Structure 1
Amino acid sequence: MKSKKIKAIIFIIIITASLSFLFYNLSFQPDTRELRAVVKEVNDSEISGSGVQKFGRQLVQVEIKEGKFKGETFNASNHLIGNFAWDYRFSEGDEILVAISETESGEIRAVIALDIYRQGWILVLLALFIILLLLYARYIGLKALFSFIGSIIIIWKVLVPGLLNGLNPLLFTTFVLIILSALILFSIAGFTKKGLAAFFGTSLSLLITIILTIFFGNKLALDGMSAPYVGEMLAAGYFNLNVRDIFYAAVVIGASGAAMDIAMDMSTTIKELKEKRPDMEMKDLIKSGFNVGSDVIGTMTTTLLLAYAGGYLTLMMAFMTRTTTLRRIFNLRIIVSEILRTIVGSIGLVIVAPITTIFAAWLYSREFKLKDIKDKFLKN
């Protein structure tokens, strides 16, 4: 048994390292178009505007720190469009990312200063997360890391390209979320009764959440145009996208993570109860599970509210400065969109707890082992 666990750990380490290497090489490795540089001089003479909103061009002299231009100095342009989310004025000594455009003959056509180079500190933060996860959760933490990296790759390399290519947002997102749920839950719990109960509860809750999102989203006349960066996506030429259904898909994605958490909590609770008290009947397991679930849901619902409120804290502050009436606030499309996210997500949490509890109690009350079923299936 111990040797099997050691082999499993080695296998997960190899797969996790391979996925990490693949993702890093596909997404973070520098190329000749975007390179790290250091600002040597700045010139703000071509910047205009009043107050904090600035327009124009900041001229910066940069020294390239990597790639074939390493050590060379170029004059770069930093274009300011008056958009606080995209604009950044550089200072001498800043480490930044620049885009270098070349002609077919290899001559430099233009050098554009893009933004502050933050990738290094992102990797430090990620390393801190991995270290703490492994120190606390050990073997389970290793499996969680595998599912974490696998989920990032599936979202970035499968979900996002699929949506941009015009696949049906709700159907495709549902398919991807079911795959993700299986990856996350079975990698943590294994192909056990606990994992199966959590997966069943998550999947059924996901389908109910989709139905609620479509029904109330249509009733509230939400078209998805209030979602962040929709304008930029349309400006890039993706006019064929169903923005409303993409927004609905985003609502479901946001609710799925918390639903998986609750489903695993409830299936683990039933498993522990049955192991400590093998004589407990199904109705007793359900009753105890409901008692635990009510407390978990009580805090998780508020947690979901705080998560969404944190994302739109500055928006609420802006409303407060303008003394906007509550009637006006609760009829604004952007606010109603977030209300839909919060309430539908909370309903998903309320639904997933009893579904998972009942199914888990039924599974643990049956006299069969999933391993025997799997072996029988493979033989046939």
Structure 2
Amino acid sequence: MKKILLILMAMILSTGILQAAPGAPPVEYEKGVVVFVGPLDQSMQKQYQMAKGELVSIQLTSGPEAGKVVDTFNFVSERSAYEIRVKTGDKVIVAVSHDLGKISYHVSDFDRFDYVYILSGLFVLVLVVFGGFIGAKSVLVIAFSMVVIFKFFIGQVLASQYSLTLLTLVVSAVIAIATQIVVSGLSKKSLAAVLGTIGGVAVAGLLSMLSVKLMHLTGLDSEEAMLLKASVLSYIDFQGVLFAGMVFGALGAVMDVTISIASAVYEVRSVHPSISFKELVQAGMNVGRDIMGTMSNTLILAYAGSSLPLMLLIASQQNAPMLKILNLNLIVTEIARALTGSIGLICAIPLTAIITATLLKRD
């Protein structure tokens, strides 16, 4: 779900124009820097008599009016979670509206994406510096995964031409194959990791499908999903989107586990060429058991971290009936998401150990 919002946001930022509701004045979005924050001038005091706020002067840094300093009223109630409190030097997104020949400017949000570029650059630098050639290849597979999801998968979801279940599994298989082959090369080790990943993701996918059906999960477990359902994407199968989110959430962890198991079994076979099939499987399982607890905990903690506000909400409702709270669609969705991924990850361990031992013993 968040991926859909991200691609929509990228489309908005690339065009600079957000589609307004029918009949509403057109709105453009430009970048700016706050140069002054202070009390309202006399004209604004007359215009906004009953509202609390402040005068904000912004120098536009993009668009046809770049360099121009504009004044705007910034509403401040000190009670709303959605108000934007700015100070001099802040980078902001300015909504520029045209209504009856009059241009008005409003602070729409903070301009945060420059810092995203900095973090992304730091991430790539750390990967390459400490990972060397393998780190550089990791950057390539990450970029490939993002392109496949954002350009292909999201496009197909919006087009609604194919089954989301089939589409999700195909995309997962493509990402798994590309990742393992690019990082580890063409080898039996990579083949075993790919097959183990596909098996683990298939288990997670099957459980996710059953969870969505048997638990009557709607996929409308967030404000964003409900907003999309009520407005621009009412035709989308949000249960299918929920299924895709569960599978993609488990995919990365499963790939990590499978290549670790396949590499361990491969190294044992290299050191002891005469080792038996059973001993190879046992070696893979021994490594897998060590990985199992930490990786499952990683998935649970990742979902718990993203659901921290939800957990705080539950903890604060001391007098609310737990029977009702624990059966909420939002709660059960997060639990199912974490557990299905963890089960798929655990099942990938024996699958990968058996497949790797089989491929190596055929030598």
What's the TM-score once normalised by structure 2's chain length?
Answer: 0.82
From 84, 94, 97, the counterpart of 1:98: 94
What SS does structure 1 have at the residue aligned with 2:133?
Answer: helix
8 Å contact 1:30–1:67 — kept in the other structure? no
Q: 1:165 to 1:101 in 2, by over 3 A?
A: farther
8 Å contact 1:329–1:335 — kept in the other structure? yes
Distance in 2 between residues matched to 1:78 and 1:211, nearest whole Å: 50
Q: Which residue of 2 aligns with 1:16?
A: none
Q: Which residue of 1 aligns with 2:334?
A: 338
Distance in 1 between residues matched to 2:170 and 2:49, nearest whole Å: 49
Distance in 2 between residues matched to 1:144 and 1:47, nearest whole Å: 57
CA-to-aligned-CA distance 1:345-371 (integer Å, 9 cap, x gap): 11101111111111111111122xxxx
Distance in 1 between residues matched to 2:73 and 2:358, nearest whole Å: 65
The alignment status of 1:199 with 2:194, answered yes or no, reads yes
Residue 232 of structure 1: how far off its partner (Å) = 2.0
Residue 193 of structure 1: how far off its partner (Å) = 1.0
Q: 1:172 to 1:57 in 2, by over 3 A?
A: farther
Q: 1:108 to 1:201 in 2, by over 3 A?
A: farther
RMSD: 2.9
Distance in 2 between residues matched to 1:133 and 1:36, nearest whole Å: 31
Q: 183-192 vs 159-168, which deviates more?
A: 159-168
From 161, 164, 169, the counterpart of 1:169: 164
1:359 corresponds to which letter in structure 2? I
Task: State the identity as a percent.
Answer: 27
CA-to-aligned-CA distance 1:185-228 (integer Å, 9 cap, x gap): 11111121111111111112222222211112211111111145
Q: Which runs of 5+ in 1 are unaligned?
A: 1-24, 49-54, 368-380
8 Å contact 1:224–1:243 — kept in the other structure? yes
1:264 corresponds to which letter in structure 2? I
Distance in 2 between residues matched to 1:78 and 1:246, nearest whole Å: 37
Q: Which residue of 2 aligns with 1:14?
A: none
8 Å contact 1:47–1:58 — kept in the other structure? no
Q: 211-220 vs 67-76, which deviates more?
A: 67-76
What SS does structure 2 have at the residue aligned with 1:74?
Answer: strand
Distance in 1 between residues matched to 2:217 and 2:52, nearest whole Å: 36
Distance in 1 between residues matched to 2:75 and 2:174, nearest whole Å: 42
Q: Which residue of 1 aligns with 2:22?
A: none
Residue 330 of structure 1: how far off its partner (Å) = 2.3
Residue 61 of structure 1: how far off its partner (Å) = 2.8
The alignment status of 1:137 with 2:131, answered yes or no, reads yes
Q: Which runs of 5+ in 2 are unaligned?
A: 1-9, 18-27
Distance in 2 between residues matched to 1:170 and 1:90, nearest whole Å: 44
Residue 77 of structure 1: how far off its partner (Å) = 6.2
Residue 303 of structure 1: how far off its partner (Å) = 1.4
Equivalent pairs counted in the alignment come to 334
Residue 66 of structure 1: how far off its partner (Å) = 3.2
Distance in 2 between residues matched to 1:153 and 1:228, nearest whole Å: 26
What SS does structure 2 have at the residue aligned with 1:130?
Answer: helix
The alignment status of 1:249 with 2:249, answered yes or no, reads no
Q: 1:121 to 1:156 in 2, by over 3 A?
A: same
- Matches of residues 4-23 of structure 1 in structure 2 within 5 Å? none
CA-to-aligned-CA distance 1:247-271 (integer Å, 9 cap, x gap): 1111111111111111111111111
Distance in 2 between residues matched to 1:330 and 1:304, nearest whole Å: 20
8 Å contact 1:212–1:344 — kept in the other structure? yes
Distance in 2 between residues matched to 1:300 and 1:47, nearest whole Å: 58
